[in-house]
Amino acid sequence: MVTTLQIKPNELLQPFITCYALREFDSGTEGVLKPMFAVHESYMTFFLKGHSCKLCDIEGIPNDTVSHALVSLFTQSQGGTLYQGEHRIFSVQFKCNGVTAIFGVPQGLLVNSIIPLKDFLGSHAFSLADQLMEAPNIAAMGNIMDIYLTSRLLHQHTNVHNPAICAASNLILKNYGIINISSLAEYVNMSSRNFERRFTDQVGMPPKLYARITRFFTAIENKAQHPNKTWTEIAHQYNYFDQAHFIRDVREFSYRSPEDLFKSTPPVPENYVTKVEY
C-alpha cells in the first residue's frame, strides 16, 4: 500500500504545476515493478528515503538505476521502475507546459526521457534534496519548492509559454482528454493549423496525441483505483467508441493489452490521505 499526500503549489505556480506529492511505501526485499507507459505530465522526483530505484526494460529486466530525476512526458512505454525496500519520495507534478514555462527548456527536447536532476538543475538538485529531507511535513516541503520554482519562473527573461495554450492544455486535463480539438482551437481563437503548431511547439506533441494519452492514462489510473470495474465499463466511462478502440490505445501506449498490462505488473493500491483534483 502506497500512502500519498498531495497539496497545491502557490497560486502563481498553479497554471504550471498540478500538485506536490509525498509517497511512502515499503515494497519489501522482493520489490514492486511499476510500469512506465505513456503519460501526460512530467515529474520531478526526490528520493528522501530509499536512495534510488532500478530502471527496467519492457520485459522487466533491470538495466540501470535512477535517483533524483526529471521524468518527462512519454508517448510510449519506457519499461518500468523496480522499487525495493522502504521509500519516501517527494514529487513535483508538472502540467504539460510547466517545465517549459518555469525553466525555459522546450518540452519537445525532453519527451520520452529521464534526466538526472544533477544534470538538469546542477548543484540545486542536491541542496533541494537536503532541504526536503529535513522538512518536517509536506507543507514545509511545498514551501521549499514554492520559493525555488517561483524564483526560476520570475527569472525567465522572456515569456516562453503561451497563455492560450496553457488554457487549452488545462481544459484537456479537466476533461480527461475527452474533448474536440477543433472546438478547442476555436475556444482559444486560433485556426486549427495554428493551434496545432503552437501546441506542438510548447508541449512537444500535437494536441490530438496529447488528448489521447491523457484519456488513456486517466482510464488506466481509474482501473487501478477501482479494480472491480470491468474494462468494458472503463472504455465506456472514457467515451471510447468501443472496446476495440480502447484496446488499440492501450497497446500503442503500453505495448500490452489491458489484461496483460495488469497481469504482468499488478497495480499497487494507493491510499490518498489528501488528493488534488484537476
DSSP 191-251: -HHHHHHHHHHHHSS-HHHHHHHHHHHHHHHHHHH-TTS-HHHHHHHTT-SSHHHHHHHHH
Question: Which helix or strand (DSSP H or E) is residue 149 part of?
Answer: helix 138-154
pLDDT at 267 over 90: no
Q: What is the pLDDT of residue 278?
A: 67
Q: What is the pLDDT of residue 82?
A: 93
**Residue 100 amino acid letter:** T
For residues 218 and 249, the answer to whether their CB atoms sit within 8 Å is no
What b/e sequence results for 109-132 when a residue is b if at least 16 CB atoms lie within 10 Å of its CB, and e otherwise?
ebbeebbebeebbeeebeebbebb
E strand spans, 50-202: 53-56, 62-66, 69-71, 80-83, 86-94, 114-116
When comparing pLDDT for 108 and 145, which is higher? Answer: 145
Q: Report d(CA 132, CA 142) in Å as an integer.
A: 9
When comparing pLDDT for 277 and 99, which is higher? Answer: 99
For residues 22 and 5, the answer to whether their CB atoms sit within 8 Å is yes
pTM of the model: 0.91
Whose cell is 486560433? That residue is: 190
Domain boundaries, the chain: 2-158+270-274
∠ CA 140-146-148, nearest 5°, is: 110
Q: What is the mean pLDDT of residues 161-186?
A: 92
For residues 7 and 19, the answer to whether their CB atoms sit within 8 Å is yes
Q: Longest Cα pair distance anywhere in the chain, in angstroms? A: 55
Q: Report d(CA 129, CA 90) in Å as an integer.
A: 9
Confidence category of residue 159, pLDDT binned at 50, 70, 90: low
DSSP state for residue 46 in the 8-state scheme = E
Three-class SS of residue 120? helix
Confidence category of residue 108, pLDDT binned at 50, 70, 90: confident
Q: What kind of architecture, by CATH, is found in domain 2-158+270-274?
A: Sandwich (2.60)
Whose cell is 498553479? That residue is: 14
